[in-house]
Amino acid sequence: MFGLGTQELLIILLIAFFIFGGKKLPEIGAGLGKGLRAFKQGLKDMDNEVKETGQEEKKQVSSDHEPQTQSSAHVEEKAS
C-alpha cells in the first residue's frame, strides 16, 4: 500500500491521534468514508450515463443506416 509498512502506518496513526485527539478521529474517519462513498457513487453514475449514451447512439446509427426493403422502395416510387 503505497510502499508503507506496518511500522510507518502505526507512526502515522499515532501522530494523527496526538494531533486530533481520540474524540475527533472517529468523526474524521466517518467523514472520509462518506466522502469516498459519494465519490464512488458519482463515478458509477457517470459510467452508467456514458454507457447509456453509447447505447442510444448505436440504436440511432443502426436505425439511420437501415437498408430499404423492396416494399418500402416500392411505396416511395408510388408516392412520387
Span 12-19, average pLDDT: 89
Interval 34-79: pLDDT, tens: 999 999 999 999 999 988 888 887 777 777 665 555 555 555 555 5
Which whole-number Å values give the CA distances from 77 to 67, 69, 73, in the listed order? Answer: 16, 13, 6
In a domain, 65, yes or no: no
Q: What is the DSSP string of the chain?
A: -TT--HHHHHHHHHHHHHHH-TTHHHHHHHHHHHHHHHHHHHHHHHHHHHHHHHHHHHHHHHHHTPPPPHHHHHHHHHH-
In a domain, 18, yes or no: no
pLDDT of residue 45: 94
In a domain, 19, yes or no: no
pLDDT of residue 4: 82
In a domain, 77, yes or no: no
In a domain, 41, yes or no: yes
In a domain, 51, yes or no: yes
Residue entry with cell 443506416: 65
In a domain, 6, yes or no: no
Q: How many domains does the chain have?
A: 1
Domain span at residue 33? Answer: 26-56
Span 22-27, average pLDDT: 86
In a domain, 7, yes or no: no
pLDDT of residue 58: 77
Predicted TM-score (pTM) of the model is 0.51
Cβ neighbours of residue 68 closer than 8 Å, sequence gap 6 or more: 76
